[in-house]
Amino acid sequence: MLKINPTRLLNDLNHLRTFGATGPGVVRLSLSATDMTARRWLVDRMRDAGLDASIDGVGTVFGRSRNAGPALLIGSHTDTQPTGGWLDGALGVIYGIEIARALAECEETKHLAVDVASWIDEEGTFSGFLGSRSFVGDNVDDAIGHARDREGVLLADALAQAGIADAPRVRIDEARHKAYLEPHIEQGGRLEAGGKSLGVVTTIVGIRELALRFTGQRNHAGTTPMAIRRDAGAALVAFIARMDDAFKQLADADTVWTVGRIELDPGSFSVVPGRADMYLQFRDADPARLDAMERALATLIDAFNAENSVHVEVSTSEPPEQPVVMNSALQTHLADAAEALAPGQWERMPSGASHDAQVIAHHVPACMLFVPSIGGVSHDFIEDTDEAHIVLGCEVAARAAASILHELNRHS
């Protein structure tokens, strides 16, 4: 009977946590010395699990089962944010290793092929989703030649310093890789608030990122009467209130929008701001709603410019990301496993965060499984998940993995 080893699972997760441990969190930025030490440890753990493992030419750790395909690829990332949590990404990689071991230890599943990946730079220290993009054949050479971290280090130099610049890059094997599973912490509070233990991801949301510039007239804060001011900062604040009202008319329970940064020029107590910039992001699983929000924003800008002496212009801050739907058949395998092991304790839900799965899904059928985040906190040192949920999530993922592979073998 297929059975994971909870003690082994938790020991591996906690050992990985020691690489870059900072208080309760982890600092393990892509291609840092700490990250490379962790990646070499992952190679050893994958080899111990019976996988042929190595670090590729961009930094991805890849473990390949010696069994013939079709193969299920299980992966996530082990790099962190500058002030990161210990489970973000790491959970999925260690799940993959544990599932590979559990399948090998069970007579009924020891012939099945699970490959495991720890993708490099999901968090974008140099170039977001570098490992998964390289894996599916995207051209990452431009990023390698030009991308820099926040300290100004060139990605090409970081790869050379890590000693992997000349290593082969792992590539998708479409004849072998027939499905992708990415287990992950939720990074939000929906599961906890609903008293659920598991989430089967339906869609990874799309993202729009825009920059709005408000242009008025810089002037003396003491001598310029309010009635004749062209205050770009005040105009920005007033606009946000209108935007919130408009977006609320279009939103459902999972729609989110954030003004993540505001900059005033010159930013002095004694000067009326002549320019104000705001950086807006909104996310939703429905591409039609994203388009509607963008149209509503354009309408607001036109009306605002017609009514005010401060002028607003909008530009694209980052290229738009379209929603990515997870494969329905793979969702069913996860849902069936969740209901078998935790009846009534799971739900279908979108992912409000981006993941490597959205890159892989364009080439291989993909699915994701969530476990709850305590307090809904992630990307912070206090990020955590109850051990019981960690173990349950791995049990469900393992059961689903076996089911997926049995079906793939029946049809191969």
Look at the block and give the residue holding tokens 């801050």: 317
Residue 379 counted as an annotated binding residue: yes
Look at the block and give the residue holding tokens 């792992």: 170
Largest CA distance in the chain: 84
Residue 406 counted as an annotated binding residue: no
Secondary structure string (H, E, C) spanning 277-344: EEEEEEEECCHHHHHHHHHHHHHHHHHHHHHCCCEEEEEEEEEEECCEECCHHHHHHHHHHHHHHCCC
Instruction: Residue 378: count other Cβ atoms within 10 Å of its Cβ.
Output: 23
Residue 313 counted as an annotated binding residue: no
Residue 378 main-chain phi, psi, to 5 deg = -150, 175
Residue 76, SS3 per DSSP? strand
3-state helix, strand, coil in the chain (%, to 5): 40, 25, 35
Residues facing 182 on adjacent strands: 368
Looking at residue 97, its amino acid is I
Tell me, rounded to whole angstroms, the distance of Cα 90 from its chain centroid. Answer: 12
Q: Are 261 and 279 in contact (CB under 8 A)?
A: yes
Residue 363 counted as an annotated binding residue: no
Look at the block and give the residue holding tokens 């505001």: 262
Q: Are 86 and 383 in contact (CB under 8 A)?
A: yes
Residue 88 counted as an annotated binding residue: yes
Residue 356 main-chain phi, psi, to 5 deg = -55, -25
Per the omega criterion (within 30 degrees of 0), is the bond before 70 cis?
yes
Which residues belong to the annotated binding site for Zn(2+)? 77, 88, 123, 184, 379
Which residues belong to the annotated binding site? 77, 88, 123, 184, 379
